[in-house]
């Protein structure tokens, strides 16, 4: 049986259509999904939207649209955004999907049966941006560090609570004994430090939020949006894919995924995911990307300008995999022209032209493998290194051409080894597949032999 690989992304709230800040994670997940498929594994790639919670409810009200209509609209729009980036998800889950709602109710009952749910009263603060019950210790200058423009709300509510505190030791051991469970390592240390302050039980229902899944046997409450959303990882994939191999998410979602989710799973008697990887964020021209700052850019807008693979290349190479990164459109254009129009695009055009002029006849393409380094560095989430590696091969071929100058020689004086040159390009195309799938496909087709012809430039230069 083939090895399986189950990868998930965070599911986005539907208070607004996704922007380029959300897109980074989807692109990186797509690279991994495509890579594992090419390795012959059985892959399931899950993404989608979180349609519940107060944030979505308020957005629909503000837009004066029926909730269902709002949810349909944003979900469709998000899907379109993902498609513009060529994201090869196997399922786009909506937390209003029937099978999800049923799975959540079943999950609740399992946790309840374990004795881990009780009715209580919450007096504290809540960040609507995070949809999170937070504590004073979390605040920076009185605001949530991830939502500095929003004032956290004071809440006094009757809620159902989850006995989170019961799992404190379990979680400490999990993080200590399984360093691969939370990556990067700095995030694991952050979560261990949080655990060391002691865990308090957490509400898992809301009495005032209408848009949610009703609590079994108490429809005055809906299930807290995080308790509901995390379960999408189980309801979203065919049964035999659980446990997930990788949950990919932003650092703002870390606590729920690395501390609440494993405790919930343990309580329900289910297996834990293998790895949770939290990346950092893009800023745009030095500013946080946010609706309130009015600087949101959608993926489709970037794709229009730079093409799908132009955007993918930049995000994969310069994205915030392990630290915050500032994005500017000038830099994107610079990199596009240097690495894609000149680097890759120019090499492919040059070789194709030479093949055409010298009427090169070549055997059809065979089967290819990833460069050995790719597998190793991809496993370490070093996406930028993978591209550097491929671009080294590109520049080697460029050098080979410059040294041999085939355009100055003809017939018997020709020193170029056409087979090596063309096989080199074919290997590059194979290795590019997870990263720039459309471009890889075009090159593969152009160089499949026996004849090779010039085509339109892969990346027209941007002025
Ligand atoms: Zn927040």
Reported as a single tens digit per residue, the pLDDT across 407-426 is 888 777 888 999 999 999 99
Exposure string of 285-318, with b = 16+ CB inside 10 Å and e = fewer, is eeebbbeeeeebebbbbbbeebbbbbbbbbbbbb
Contacts of 76 (CB under 8 A, 6+ apart): none
Q: What is the pLDDT of residue 47?
A: 98
| 32, 321 Cβ separation under 8 angstroms | no
| 9 upstream amide cis, omega within 30 of 0 | no
CA of 139 to the centre of ligand 1 (A): 9
pLDDT reading at 238 higher than 70? yes
Could you tell me the pLDDT band of residue 39, with boundaries at 50, 70 and 90? Answer: very high
Nearest Cα neighbor of 21 from 31, 5, 10 is 10
CA of 146 to the centre of ligand 1 (A): 5
Could you tell me the pLDDT band of residue 174, with boundaries at 50, 70 and 90? Answer: very high
Tell me if residue 361 is catalytic. Answer: no
> What value does the mean pLDDT of the chain take?
95
Angstrom CA distances, 115 to 112, 160, 327, 375, stand at 5, 12, 48, 44
Tell me if residue 130 is catalytic. Answer: yes
CA of 144 to the centre of ligand 1 (A): 5
Task: Please report where in the chains the tokens 């593969």 appear, as a residue.
Answer: 444
- pLDDT per residue as tens digits for the range 258-304: 999 999 999 999 999 999 999 999 999 999 998 878 899 999 999 99
Active-site residue, from 36, 130, 257, 355: 130
Q: Which residues pair with residue 50 across a beta bridge?
A: 13
Could you tell me the pLDDT band of residue 53, with boundaries at 50, 70 and 90? Answer: confident
Largest CA distance in the chain: 89
Query: Which DSSP symbol is given to 245?
Result: S
CA of 275 to the centre of ligand 1 (A): 24
| 45, 88 Cβ separation under 8 angstroms | yes
pLDDT reading at 1 higher than 70? no
Nearest Cα neighbor of 128 from 95, 153, 160 is 153
pLDDT reading at 150 higher than 90? no
pLDDT reading at 56 higher than 90? no
| pTM of the predicted structure, to 2 decimals | 0.96
How far is Cα of residue 454 from the mean position of the Cα atoms in its chain? 35
Nearest Cα neighbor of 249 from 82, 19, 11, 410 is 11
Tell me if residue 221 is catalytic. Answer: no
Tell me if residue 147 is catalytic. Answer: yes
| 371, 389 Cβ separation under 8 angstroms | yes
Tell me if residue 113 is catalytic. Answer: no
């Amino acid at each position: 049986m083939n090895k399986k690989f189950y990868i998930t992304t965070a599911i986005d709230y539907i208070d607004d259509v996704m922007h380029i800040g959300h897109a980074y994670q989807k692109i990186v997940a797509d690279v991994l999904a495509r890579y594992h498929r090419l390795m012959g594994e059985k892959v399931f790639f899950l993404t989608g939207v979180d349609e519940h919670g107060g944030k979505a409810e308020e957005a629909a009200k503000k837009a004066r649209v029926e909730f269902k209509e709002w949810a349909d609209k944003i979900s469709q729009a998000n899907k379109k955004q993902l498609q513009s980036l060529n994201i090869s998800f196997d399922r786009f889950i909506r937390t209003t999907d029937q099978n999800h709602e049923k799975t959540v109710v079943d999950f609740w009952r399992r946790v309840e049966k374990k004795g881990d749910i009780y009715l209580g009263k919450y007096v504290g603060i809540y960040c609507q941006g995070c949809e999170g019950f937070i504590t004073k210790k979390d605040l920076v200058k009185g605001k949530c560090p991830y939502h500095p423009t929003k004032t956290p709300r004071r809440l006094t509510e009757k809620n159902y609570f989850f006995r989170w505190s019961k799992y404190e030791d379990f979680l400490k051991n999990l993080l200590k004994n399984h360093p691969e469970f939370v990556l990067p390592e700095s995030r694991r240390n952050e979560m261990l430090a949080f655990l060391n302050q002691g865990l308090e039980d957490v509400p898992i229902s809301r009495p005032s939020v209408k848009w949610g899944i009703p609590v079994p046997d108490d429809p005055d409450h809906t299930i807290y949006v995080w308790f509901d959303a995390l379960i999408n990882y189980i309801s979203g994939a065919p049964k035999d894919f659980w446990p997930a191999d990788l949950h990919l998410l932003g650092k703002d979602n870390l606590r729920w995924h690395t501390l609440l989710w494993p405790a919930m799973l343990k309580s329900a008697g289910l297996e834990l995911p293998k790895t949770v990887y939290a990346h950092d964020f893009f800023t745009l021209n030095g500013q946080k990307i946010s609706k309130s700052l009015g600087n949101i850019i959608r993926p489709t807008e970037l794709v229009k300008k730079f093409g799908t693979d132009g955007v993918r290349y930049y995000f994969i190479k310069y994205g915030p995999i392990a630290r915050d990164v500032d994005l500017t459109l000038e830099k994107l254009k610079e990199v596009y022209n240097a690495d894609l129009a000149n680097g890759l695009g120019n090499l492919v055009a040059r070789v194709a032209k030479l093949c055409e002029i010298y009427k090169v006849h070549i055997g059809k393409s065979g089967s290819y493998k990833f460069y050995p380094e790719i597998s190793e560095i991809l496993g370490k989430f070093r996406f930028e290194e993978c591209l550097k590696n491929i671009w080294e091969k590109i520049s080697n071929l460029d050098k080979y051409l410059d040294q041999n100058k085939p355009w100055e020689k003809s017939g018997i004086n020709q020193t170029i080894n056409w087979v090596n040159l063309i096989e080199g390009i074919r290997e590059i195309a194979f290795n590019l597949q997870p990263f720039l799938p459309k471009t890889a496909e075009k090159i593969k087709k152009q160089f499949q032999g026996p004849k090779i012809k010039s085509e339109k430039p892969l990346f027209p230069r941007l002025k």
